[in-house]
Amino acid sequence: MDNKSQIQAVYLAFAHVWTLADGKLKRFQQFVDTHLHNQVLP
């Protein structure tokens, strides 16, 4: 995998969920596809 593909793969390995209430941040969750993330690490 070339360097650009690695960066794109790591970017796709994460998802963020923001929960708002009354115009304020109430909860933040981060999810990681660990299998994809580990494939691009040396």
Q: Are 9 and 1 in contact (CB under 8 A)?
A: yes
**pLDDT < 50 regions, the chain:** none
Q: What pLDDT score was predicted for residue 9?
A: 55
Q: What pLDDT score was predicted for residue 19?
A: 96
Q: What pLDDT score was predicted for residue 17?
A: 94
Question: Any residues with CB less than 8 A from the CB of 4 and at least 6 apart, and which?
Answer: none
Structure-block tokens of residue 5: 């593909």
pTM of this prediction?
0.52
Measuring CA to CA, which residue among 14, 39, 16, 15 is closest to residue 28? 16
Q: Where are the domains of the chain?
A: 3-40
C-alpha span between 16 and 30 (Å, rounded): 5
Q: What is the enclosing helix (H) or strand (E) of 39?
A: helix 34-40
